[in-house]
Amino acid sequence: MEQGKKIKIQDVTLRDGNQALKKPWDLDQKKEVFDLLIELQVDGIEVGFPSSNQTEFEATKTLAKRAPRGLPIAALSRANRSEIERTWEALSYADTPRLHIVFPVSAFSIKHVLHMSEEQVLTRIVDTVAFARSIVGTRGEVQFSGEHFGDAFENFDFATECFLASIQSGADIINLPNTVERYRPFLFVDMVKKVADRIGNQVTVSVHTHNDLGMATATSVECAYVGATQIEVALNGLGERAGNTNLYETALALHQNGESIGIRFDRIYPTAKRISELTGIPIGEKTPIIGADIFSHRSGIHQDGVAKTKSMQKGAYRTFSPEFVGRNDSETISFTNQSGHKAIQFILESKGLEVTQGLVQVLFEQAKSISTKEGNREITESELVSWAKHQLIVI
């Protein structure tokens, strides 16, 4: 990544995330999510699709008015003059508005969805981006997204021409979407690099990736190292189908690699929990960063490493500390038939009990036997503490 370039985190939860919910949020819920994003200190927020219906229009208008000074507030519009006007009517209340226009650029979509020629597509992009620029003026920004850019292998030169034309027509930001994830990340990253190299420093290059194959975060993060300086993300990875690029994973991955990311990491966990409540979508126990089980260790080899590095900044089996992302839990070791002696010692010492190696051996054999006999179940902390205290009394 070019030295000194900060990666901007552009959140699309209130538009792309909300439109995919089984029960989209009402205005009060949208205001709460908006405020959570402000607390996270994201670099920009896309708040809705105001030309789609009156509810979206009112929500966009309300959130635009609610936005703090200087924070880019985006709203999506199709490449249609009347819809752009309607979008601007709601969005113009923002201090720093960003009018976001989307139109397909892949050969497949042009032929099978739009039923247009390439010339007609280019004309539409030039006309609508120029129109958006004329009504936004110098007050805000215009972003152009070439939908299905990730599919534009066979007409890559034309897709690039679309982006260049949008810049000449007044776009400040070009957004390169992997609208449906079909291929390995490197192929999309390479496409982004070629466009970014062609454009240079004329405008901001943004990426927007979906998670159909489970690689959206990796794809987006790698794009930051080939010229993209804005990444569009969503809270809890919300979005159509398998969701959008996950905000938490993206920000933390970039941070772990030494990049300057402006969000408040300590707000991640409480935000994720609240979003889960607002959507009714549970957080999987193995979900990176926010899952309930990600600081648990059950393998004997892992437990040994955890015990030896528990007070160090870098853990043997820990990428970051729980408190860094706003969690109030800690690394835990629990006992199963996969665990070793260290699990017994760690658990008891964490409860303030001083134990000898002899006692550890006795309790290890007891726990191993019971776990195996009872279907390889996990032995709880309270059971181990109770057994230990009993043994200490007997001794």
Which regions of the chain does DSSP assign to beta strands (E)? Answer: 8-11, 44-48, 72-78, 96-104, 141-147, 173-178, 204-209, 230-233, 296-297, 332-333
**What is the model's pTM?**
0.92
Task: Output the CA–CA distances (angstroms, integers) from residue 205 to 128, 167, 320, 349, in the order listed.
Answer: 19, 11, 29, 52
Asked if 234 and 246 count as a contact pair (C-beta separation under 8 A), the reply is yes
pLDDT attached to residue 249: 98
Asked if 22 and 276 count as a contact pair (C-beta separation under 8 A), the reply is no
pLDDT attached to residue 354: 82
Domain ranges for the chain, please list them: 8-263, 296-394
CATH of 8-263, picked from 3.40.50.300, 3.40.640.10, 3.90.1150.10, 3.20.20.70, is 3.20.20.70
Kindly give the confidence (pLDDT) of every residue in the chain, 395 residues in length, as a single tens digit, with 9 standing for 90 and above. Answer: 555 568 999 999 999 999 999 999 999 999 999 999 999 999 999 999 999 999 999 999 999 999 999 999 999 999 999 999 999 999 999 999 999 999 999 999 999 999 999 999 999 999 999 999 999 999 999 999 999 999 999 999 999 999 999 999 999 999 999 999 999 999 999 999 999 999 999 999 999 999 999 999 999 999 999 999 999 999 999 999 999 999 999 999 999 999 999 999 999 999 999 999 999 999 999 999 999 999 988 888 888 888 888 888 889 989 999 999 999 998 887 888 888 888 888 888 888 888 889 988 999 999 889 988 999 898 888 888 899 888 876 54
Instruction: Tell me the CB-side half-sphere exposure of residue 22, using CA atoms within 13 A.
Output: 4
Ramachandran bin of 143, using left for φ above 0, alpha for ψ from -120 to 50, beta for the remaining angles = beta
pLDDT attached to residue 22: 97
Sign of CA dihedral 233, 235, 240, 245: positive
Q: Which residue has the tokens 């466009």?
A: 195
Please tell me the total number of residues recorded for the chain in this structure.
395
Copy the structure tokens of residue 111: 């032929």
DSSP letters, 193-258, are: HHHHHHHTTSSEEEEEEB-TTS-HHHHHHHHTTTT--EEEEBGGG-SSTT-BPBHHHHHHHHHHTT
